[in-house]
Amino acid sequence: MKYIHVKNNIAAHLLLGAVVVLLGTNIFTWWRAEHKTDVLLPDTSFSFVDPSRRFVEQDNLIVNFQPLRDKLNALYEHNPDISMYFEYLPTRANVSINKDAEFYPASLLNVPVAVAVAKKIERREWKWSNELVLLAGDRDELFGTLYKEPTNSTHTIEDLVRRSLVESDNTAHFILLRNLETEEVEAVYEHIGLKGFFDTDGRISAKRYSAIFRMLYASSYLSPEYSQKLLAFMTESTFTDFIEGGLPEKTTFSHKIGIAVDKNVYVDSGVVYPPGRPYVLTIMVRTGNEPQAQDIMQDISRIIYDYVNTYAEEDL
């Protein structure tokens, strides 16, 4: 009888354990389903509406930029040496000035090369910690300090990408470019609708170049991890006299500048992050006077930021 009693106790404990496990599994499944619905699954109640709408506050869904367009056009549309493109990311509304005017982008081209490098790392063909060699032919003294390092010195890919984006270091850019296949860089341009870019004279409009930062913001070519890394690098840019000069202090701005003194071209492009109201802004100015380019970019930047940051439907 004692044996039967023990056996019954074991059976009871096993049954109780099974019930607990089953109950726990059901609770977890319910919890996961509830939270997954809130965070990941689309709301099928509004199947014709942009699913990202659930994550944007109503007040931030700005579509009326006509007053901004009128003001900027009155100030700058008459000047063929300015190309500007603004895109409000929550609604994709946009404003442009001389949208078809094309300029030499200078070291703005560092960004698609950095994207091609990040893609190789995402595919596990390279690692951020891998090292590349500086050759004599890579040296460029115009921007950055890497050219001062000895020939045959080695530098991690992460440091080279950071320098090329943050310091606009041309030597770092050329090291990276030399170690990429042409097709790997072309794939980046093709993704953003610039197929055949290398067959052109290299000029580009502000609107077309803005697609590069839209791609990074949307994480459409790279996974979020790698898009985030590149955008984070570019918030550390040491060049603050162009678009950033028209932004309030401590405004997050992920951007890349380009200067071609021999062509009298000054350019700046990136994503501005006012809370809940991010936008892409690219400005290209052709002038032999850098302070004038700074003044123009800062003025346009200030006007746009003020409109976006203070916009309220009831005030119109």
- Residue 156: phi and psi, rounded to 5, are -65, 150
pTM for the structure as a whole: 0.84
Q: In sequence order, what are the residues at sequence separation of 6 or more whose Cβ sits closer than 8 angstroms to the Cβ of residue 99?
A: 83, 85, 205, 206, 207
Q: Is 139 helix (H, G, I), strand (E, B) or coil?
A: coil
Classify residue 3 by burial, with Cβ atoms within 10 Å: 0-12, 13-18, 19+. Answer: exposed
Q: How far is CA 121 from CA 60, 117, 223, 276, in A?
A: 35, 7, 11, 31
Q: How far is CA 190 from CA 92, 116, 134, 200, 220, in A?
A: 21, 12, 29, 14, 12
Tell me how crowded residue 68 is: count the other CB atoms within 10 A of its CB.
Answer: 20
What's the confidence (pLDDT) of residue 243? 98
User: Tokens at residue 87, please?
Assistant: 């895109």
Check pLDDT > 60 for residue 12: no
What's the confidence (pLDDT) of residue 9? 58
What's the confidence (pLDDT) of residue 54? 86
Check pLDDT > 60 for residue 316: no
Q: Is 59 helix (H, G, I), strand (E, B) or coil?
A: helix
* Separation CA 244–CA 298 (nearest Å): 7
What's the confidence (pLDDT) of residue 299? 98
What's the confidence (pLDDT) of residue 239? 93
Most confidently predicted of 25-34, 100-109, 235-244: 235-244
What's the confidence (pLDDT) of residue 18? 52
Check pLDDT > 50 for residue 38: no
- 278 near 243, Cβ under 8 Å? no
42-69 pLDDT tens trace: 556 888 888 888 889 999 999 999 999 9
Q: Which residue has the higher pLDDT, 281 or 196?
A: 281
How much is the average pLDDT of 71-87?
96
* Separation CA 241–CA 243 (nearest Å): 7
* Separation CA 84–CA 96 (nearest Å): 5
Pairing of strands 154-156, 253-260: unpaired
